[in-house]
Structure 1
Amino acid sequence: MLESYRNARAYPFCPGCGHGLILDHLNTALVRLGLPPHRVVIVSDIGCQGLGDQYFITHAFHGLHGRSVAYATGIKLADPDLKVIVLIGDGGIGIGAAHWLSAARRNIGLTVLVMNNFNFGMTGGEHSATTPTGGVTATTRGGNLERPLDLCATAAANGAGFVWRGTAFDRELADVIVEAVQGECFALLDIWELCTAHYVPNNAWSRRALIETRAALGMPAGLVHRGERPEYARLLAAAAAGQHVSAPGLRGAALTPQFAATLDREFRLVIAGSAGGKIRSTARTIGEAALLSGLWAAQQDDYPVTVQTGHSISTLIFGPREILFTGSGRPDALVLVTEEGRKAAGRYLRALTRESWLFTTPEFAGLDTPAQKVVIDSSGLGTQRSRKNLGLLLSAAALRRLRLFPIEALEAAIRGERRKDVAAENLAAVAASAAVQEAGRRGA
């Protein structure tokens, strides 16, 4: 067992600052836990406390102000077996409120140590979300008029599994950290401390004042809340492994190549249509078909904030080798579905060459282009043709002509849809694409 998780470097904090006390308690807790250093991640926020992660022999991650809990959430979701500890100040906890409230609501297994000294100590002693009423800071020279945020009550109300309040001087703090880390839940420790550079001289602040202020505000000390419910990272991991059928947004099985593609180079396909016309989902399904054919694929989407109105453009890149980027300036083929798509796809139309392909409807038969133009008339399909499946129908017809990979791969990708009624409609559109009338010519 390690005797310390600290390295040999001395802390840089001001004399009397509470940060060093809290980090010493954290070190004691880590020794008692006996965790392998490579299975512990300390994520630090911006502020004086953000200097703390570099004094430990664990993994460390340092990011933007208020975002430490968001980073920690991603790390925990990526590897639920890691012990992830967040160091954040009262400034960051106010700036990043949405992040830790969401983590509490989900019950992400993080231990969040809030080093709460009631001001932005690193930037000059400005007031924060936890500055007590009446507190004098660089921005509240006449005394703070606001009520401070009750971090513990807020965390508890939003579903945190372990909530505690105390001070950096509490002897049991290391034991509390051990309990929080072992709890495998969202744990928030509101640790009150002294900022000797700013808050102490401005407010005649002291260890005794911490306790008196806490009582005056009606904020209890000790264990404030404990709740029992599943930890989200493990719950999500189980869902991803197929052990929970109700998991939202997760595909049931990995995409394993089942077909053989003939494509031996990168190929760029752009589909330009209207929002609400299932352009993006069509592109996603085609991308999955490419994967089922042993190709790599990348997708980029462009659509307005109105979502269901305006244009919708998807750019796909296929190839036999890994693709590390998205988007394309010059498509090898453009599927032009609607007028809204045409208006937004001007740069793609202008980039077409004699080696490019343009697949479109009779509406755009007169477009002037050097590309090999294929006009696809689906008007004779009757009820099989609709606004929502026209993009898929034209794209499937294009894939039949281009022969990048078997059309059966597209059908297999469609069968993987969660909604079987949608899959049936899409399969019908792909089948109908074999019956459309084509008129091919170069230029116009």
Structure 2
Amino acid sequence: MDTTISTYRFPDRKYTFCPGCSHSLVLDHLNAALVKLQLDPRQVVLVTDIGCVGMSDQFFDVNAFHGLHGRAVTYASGIKLANPDLKVIALIGDGGVGIGGHHLLNAARRNIGVTVLVFNNLNFGMTGGQHSVATPYGARTATTRGGNLERPLDICATVAVNGAAYVFRGTAFDKELPERMVEAIQTPGFALLDIWELCTAYYVPGNDFSRAALMQTIQRLKFPLGVLQKMESPELARAYRDQISNLQSPISNAQPIATKFDSALTKTTRVILAGAAGGKVRSTASALAIGGMMSGLWATQRDDYPVSVMSGYSVSEVILSRDEILYMGIEKPDILAVLTPEGLSQVPRQLRAMDEAQTVYVVPELAAHVQTRARKIVFNFGRAAPSKKSLALTATAAIVRHANLYPLAAFREAISAGQRAEIAAENVKAVEASEGIL
């Protein structure tokens, strides 16, 4: 940079914290550290989440990212992985440490090159002064009226034992805090500063607390002060880039889908397959979409299924169009295939929305249960009803034929692409079984 930066703060934005809140001191120290470093503001990212500290990013003329409570370290890690050249600083409270503790552990373990400043005021200050993982034993808060019975988390020891490259504990009143911040920001790996503060809204009046009492509490807990750990180990973002740079080519090359067939489709067609988990509904929908692309159409796919994965419903939506599709979701399908009771249970709204211009294809045993104004066509499987695994494929192949979505050869090729020989043969057999069922 050609000019010296005298401040990284917006000069016209005053802090909005409570009178006497230590957050202001810590942010002043951070500004002093950034001035010492003379970093390009475009290369600095402040990441915050919920809590009083979450208001901090608005006071600095750098990049900022604000998200959910406890997730700041995760956001910071993602930003650093995306661009290792950035200086990423996460500002969190002791509440965020508790809510996102596993994120903190894994960031330290991975040695991801972010700096975490913990604004540790020993309670949840924004939401009414409830106790946090950092509240000292015996402290009175909104949720520990008789005194906290839990031992506070040693934040520094926690990240140190998990491999943090730089660990420091101090207070908002430490004159050398800007220098410690400079060291942390310059550390290639994961760095954390546990900065103890005063919450003048709740913790101070609730515990007759003061700056002297803060130091006495740290001593009583036998929490050491100062730089507690400095160690060198590979930083994750750089190590990942180095690993990738050694590859001679991408791990897997993108395979374009060539147009081999022609579709007679003239309007956007919305298709829903409503079946059961374990019935190849999603893979069938993928084949339907890929077959459309092979036939010169645009296609989208959206799937819905429960966490049980192999039991319950499985519903897939496919949109086929001559024009680019810029949205997802189907409120009123043109084609709805009701294949199982589980699938039927998920589409009553769509059935009510359909009218005479749309078509419902339904298996025989559910035909009487489908109430709709749409045209209803019942599959005629004859004596050889498809198995659970082949039902979606056979029914969809029949729909491709009956609705003339595109050539059946495109669907046949789509269900075989990338499959092992025995699976491809099984799929083709299911498609061939579709002849004559509509």
8 Å CA contact 1:389, 1:426 repeated in 2: no
How far the C-alpha of 1:333 sits from its partner, in A, is 1.6
How far the C-alpha of 1:77 sits from its partner, in A, is 5.2
Relative distance call for 1:437 and 1:12 in structure 2 (3 A) is closer
Cα displacement string for residues 273-302 of structure 1 (whole angstroms, at most 9, x for unaligned residues): 111222223324544555566654443333
8 Å CA contact 1:411, 1:427 repeated in 2: no
How far the C-alpha of 1:256 sits from its partner, in A, is 3.2
The aligned residue for residue 131 of structure 1 is 135
* Map 1:207-286 → 2, pairs under 5 A: 207-221=211-225, 222-224=227-229, 226=231, 228-231=233-236, 235=240, 252-254=252-254, 256-259=256-259, 262=263, 263-286=265-288
TM-score normalised to the size of structure 2? 0.80
> Distance between the aligned counterparts of 2:249 and 2:136, measured in 1?
46
* Count of residues paired in the alignment: 429
Cα displacement string for residues 310-362 of structure 1 (whole angstroms, at most 9, x for unaligned residues): 22111222334444443223222223333432344344445554443444556
Residue aligned with 2:46, SS: strand
| Matched letter for residue 281 of structure 2 | I
The aligned residue for residue 26 of structure 2 is 22
> Distance between the aligned counterparts of 2:291 and 2:154, measured in 1?
52
How far the C-alpha of 1:427 sits from its partner, in A, is 5.9
Answer yes or no: is 1:345 the counterpart of 2:343.
no
Residue aligned with 2:379, SS: strand
Moved more, 57-66 or 269-278: 57-66
> Distance between the aligned counterparts of 1:13 and 1:286, measured in 2?
57
The aligned residue for residue 66 of structure 2 is 62
How far the C-alpha of 1:86 sits from its partner, in A, is 1.6
8 Å CA contact 2:284, 2:415 repeated in 1: no
> Distance between the aligned counterparts of 2:277 and 2:293, measured in 1?
25
Residue aligned with 2:389, SS: coil
How far the C-alpha of 1:147 sits from its partner, in A, is 0.7
Residue aligned with 1:213, SS: helix
| Matched letter for residue 313 of structure 2 | H
| Matched letter for residue 51 of structure 2 | G
How far the C-alpha of 1:239 sits from its partner, in A, is 6.8
The one of 1, 6, 19 equivalent to 1:3 is 6
* Map 1:28-427 → 2, pairs under 5 A: 28-76=32-80, 79-158=83-162, 160-221=164-225, 222-224=227-229, 226=231, 228-231=233-236, 235=240, 252-254=252-254, 256-259=256-259, 262=263, 263-290=265-292, 295-361=297-363, 363=365, 370-371=374-375, 373=377, 375=379, 377=381, 386-405=387-406, 421=420, 425-426=423-424
Relative distance call for 1:138 and 1:377 in structure 2 (3 A) is closer
How far the C-alpha of 1:173 sits from its partner, in A, is 3.1
Residue aligned with 2:283, SS: helix
How far the C-alpha of 1:193 sits from its partner, in A, is 1.9
8 Å CA contact 1:104, 1:155 repeated in 2: yes
Moved more, 264-273 or 362-371: 362-371
Residue aligned with 1:228, SS: coil
Unaligned runs of 5+ in 2: none
8 Å CA contact 1:393, 1:430 repeated in 2: no
8 Å CA contact 2:131, 2:143 repeated in 1: yes
> Distance between the aligned counterparts of 2:242 and 2:271, measured in 1?
34
How far the C-alpha of 1:58 sits from its partner, in A, is 0.9
8 Å CA contact 1:271, 1:313 repeated in 2: yes
Relative distance call for 1:277 and 1:187 in structure 2 (3 A) is farther
How far the C-alpha of 1:112 sits from its partner, in A, is 1.9
The aligned residue for residue 249 of structure 1 is none
8 Å CA contact 1:107, 1:231 repeated in 2: yes
Relative distance call for 1:182 and 1:320 in structure 2 (3 A) is farther
> Distance between the aligned counterparts of 2:244 and 2:390, measured in 1?
31
How far the C-alpha of 1:269 sits from its partner, in A, is 0.8
> Distance between the aligned counterparts of 1:161 and 1:265, measured in 2?
59
Q: CA RMSD in A?
A: 3.9
Answer yes or no: is 1:12 the counterpart of 2:16.
yes
Unaligned runs of 5+ in 1: 247-251
8 Å CA contact 1:165, 1:224 repeated in 2: no
Identity of aligned residues (%): 50
